[in-house]
Chains A and B, each alone.
Chain A
Amino acid sequence: MMRHFFRQTVLAGLLFGQQVAAECDRVHTVATDDTVFTIAEQYYGDHTRWSVIYDGNQSQLGGQLFQLAPGTQLTIPCANGVGVTQVAPLRQNSRADMILQPGSNFAPYAAVDWIALPMVAEIAEAALALMPAPVTYEVRFGDGAGPVATHEGPVADMTFPWLDPACATRPGAAACAEVHLSDPLVETLVMVFADAEAIFPFDGDADLEGLRLCRPVGHPTQDLERPGRGWLSDGPVEIVRADSTGSCFDLLLDGAVDAVTVEQWIGLKTIADRDLRDRVVPLSRPLSVEGLHIAIPRSHWRGTAFLYRVNAGLEALKATGGYDEIVSRHVARMQAQVE
């Protein structure tokens, strides 16, 4: 049985690989009325795979899913990771001048089981490799990541990935006074997941009025309370907090909430792990688009100089095309994990 299953999987993989190879790893020039959904349909025959297009072209799309600028050149990533290049292994130093390790203003985004974290880490690493006025650096990640601080003081110089604490609208946020935030390493999408039996239209916030949305405890809520969207304080959307993403999905299937809203990869992975793929589906537009940043303490003796190095390295990475390569490879990996 086991062997049979294995062979089937391999065959499916081969078939899938051939099928996609013909349609991917190419450039698509945006035409009038193209959306990420129509493009996903065109190349993958599946509009629900729009996030592969989106994630593979974040720098060109700039948060837009629908109103794409005609003429924009988009990469159509190979969803199965065919033909990708290998990058150098992480650089190791016992005490490099610059140490970056996971640590976040919101725990789920720095958790080792968040499947997008390796992508964020690799982008950070690749950006640091291109920094101007170079210093020795180390990106600690996975088992190598220790505490951010000990009794002797901070261990890491910088942490990632941080959500922008939206200082302009929430000036009281403690993080605003404490850290510099880099330019976003990636933008992550906060999705709305609904019961497959009870899908509702979602073209804008107005469609959610009167509904109950579940957001797990420990996940950020700043996107629910921002100018024009005072859901935590005023309604009209009711926000329900459950202990975990899984509990939110339980509430959804019990009919206790109308939708679950979490970061897309956290949601998709939970659905895959609980084998809920037939019962829960993401709606086809995100609730929020959140940038993930590197945070550097404002009192670090090299704070602004490190900020400059990170941002300039990231700019260089995007200019060389390395950025898009990393994203497409990881999106393929993550897609495989949630399929």
Chain B
Amino acid sequence: MIDRWAIAGALCLLAGAGAAQESCGGSYTLGRGESLSLIAERLYGDREKWTVIHEANRAVIGDSPDYVQSGQTLTLPCLEGMQAGDARTGAPPEEAALSETARSDPALPETALPDTAVTRAATAPGTEPLGDQVPPIPEISLLVADDFAPFTDEAAPGGGLMIEIAAAALAEVVTGDVEIVWINDRAAHLDPLLSEQRVDLGLPWSRPDCEGDQSGETLCREFLFSDPMFEMLSLLFTDVDRPLIYLSDADMAGHTLCRPLGLPTQDLDGQGRNWVSGGLVTLVQPRSVAACFEMLQAGSVDAVALNEFTGRAAIRDLGLDGQVVVLDRRPLAVETLHAVVSKSHPRAEDYIAAVNAGLRDIRRSGIFQQILDRHMALVWASL
């Protein structure tokens, strides 16, 4: 193994001395319209390596890889395994996968290598090797709550879309069991269950704008977020008999909104709104989604503020078709769903890296889309 590692390193040096000098070490100034994946494709021959460039340049780019600007100068890491995985060097993908694993922990005995990297190369010839350095994870637990259809819902196939996706992603990188822990008191998830590491990962949580405002301060400060697994709209649901005009944020002043307890509220306070924190809006937080819609029917709240899918599923299940107006042309926010881990967890970084590596794997293999196809067909057929 060590020999292979050395060979891969030498390949990198050779490449660095030649035409691909720029691609191994050195700096790169972003041109107009260039993205990290574009540069990774051009310089490393693998667009998935944008993560490496991002990691090495967080100080310049910030946490969001999407907001790079032309003129920014990036440092390009020289990674021994990288050039071996580049088709231009001619090294077979199996070697690339093995050498990369070895590089990440050269002292690792061969028998302890994660099977995943090797078996994937063997069972999926021609596909790209696992390009991520994920230390072995023997087992992991995942904390979820019911009443969040179609994402985490005990009645749904596989427990819901997010559980199937997270489980499939983790199956790629975890050698042992992935335990799903159902605790329906969502308000206890972040603290104490995750903060005290009684469960490893929380799922799913919408990511606040950690760079932009203070609405998600606690979440951003105390938790790490995986790459996004789903994106959706946060909407207002109103009573057909009591129309609510929402054309601009100012229209919300004085209204009472309902959001089930335990779901984050950064969409109500973010984007400079401070509706709840500033007292402009009264927020009611009952324990269930159904309770919110009952309050809407009873006239005790002006709108239910909830993601479009959970809200529409509730309208269907509660038989409220025609009685609730969905303000889908003017969403409160666009939200992404993520797995989270407490920064206090000793393996926080490893776990997020593992989820992200698994997600990239199932996106590449098509498993991600297969799961979505199955769940979304059910979702849209039932609405």
Residues of A within 8 A of B (CB): 91-97, 132-133, 135-136, 152-154, 177, 298-305, 308-309, 311
Contacts and interface: CB of A to CB of B under 8 A. Distances in A.
Given A154-B369, A302-B231, A305-B233, A93 B66 contact: no
Given A153-B366, A299-B373, A305-B334, A95 B47 contact: yes
A133 B336 CA distance: 11
Nearest to A152: B366
Interface of B: 33-35, 37-38, 41-42, 47, 66, 229-233, 308, 328-329, 331, 333-334, 364, 366, 368-369, 372-373, 376-377, 380-381
Contacts of A97: 66
Contacts of B329: 311
Contacts of B369: 153-154, 299
Nearest to B31: A92
Given A133-B334, A136-B66, A91 B33 contact: yes
A97 B65 CA distance: 11
A308 B334 contact: yes
A301 B66 contact: no
A92 B334 CA distance: 24
A282 B182 CA distance: 67
A308 B233 contact: yes
Contacts of A305: 231-233, 334
Contacts of A133: 333-334
23 contacts: A91-B33, A92-B38, A93-B33, A93-B37, A94-B41, A94-B47, A95-B47, A136-B35, A136-B66, A152-B364, A152-B366, A299-B373, A301-B229, A301-B372, A303-B376, A304-B232, A304-B233, A304-B308, A304-B328, A305-B233, A308-B233, A308-B334, A311-B329
B334 A96 contact: no
A94 B38 contact: yes
B376 A299 contact: yes
Contacts of B37: 93-95
Contacts of B334: 132-133, 305, 308-309
Contacts of A177: 377, 380-381
A92 B35 CA distance: 9
Contacts of A311: 329
Nearest to B329: A311
Given A91-B33, A299-B369, A301-B368, 10 more contacts: A94-B47, A95-B38, A95-B41, A152-B364, A153-B366, A298-B376, A301-B229, A301-B372, A302-B230, A304-B308
Nearest to B308: A304
A93 B39 CA distance: 9
B230 A301 contact: yes
Contacts of A95: 35, 37-38, 41, 47
Main secondary structure of the interface of A (DSSP, over half): loop
A78 B373 CA distance: 48
Contacts of B381: 177
B191 to A, nearest CB: 29
A305 B231 CA distance: 6
For the complex of A and B, 10 pairs with smallest distance between CB atoms: A299-B376, A94-B38, A302-B231, A133-B334, A305-B231, A93-B35, A95-B37, A299-B373, A94-B41, A299-B372
A125 to B, nearest CB: 13
Contacts of A301: 229-231, 368, 372
A92 B41 CA distance: 14
Given A301-B229, A304-B232, A305-B231, A93 B38 contact: yes
A91 to B, nearest CB: 5
Contacts of B364: 152
Contacts of A91: 33
B167 to A, nearest CB: 16
A298 B369 CA distance: 11
A97 B333 CA distance: 18
A171 to B, nearest CB: 12
Contacts of A304: 232-233, 308, 328
A135 B35 contact: no
B65 to A, nearest CB: 10
Nearest to B39: A94
B181 to A, nearest CB: 24
Contacts of B42: 94
A134 to B, nearest CB: 8
| Most A Cβ at <10 Å: residue of B41, B42, B364, B372 | B372
Given A152-B366, A299-B372, A305-B334, A96 B233 contact: no
A302 B308 CA distance: 12
A314 B29 CA distance: 33
Contact of B380 (A136, A298, A302): A298
Nearest to A306: B231
B320 to A, nearest CB: 20
A299 B232 CA distance: 12
Contacts of B333: 133
Contacts of A92: 33, 38
Nearest to A154: B369
Contacts of B66: 97, 135-136
Nearest to A97: B66
Contacts of A302: 230-231
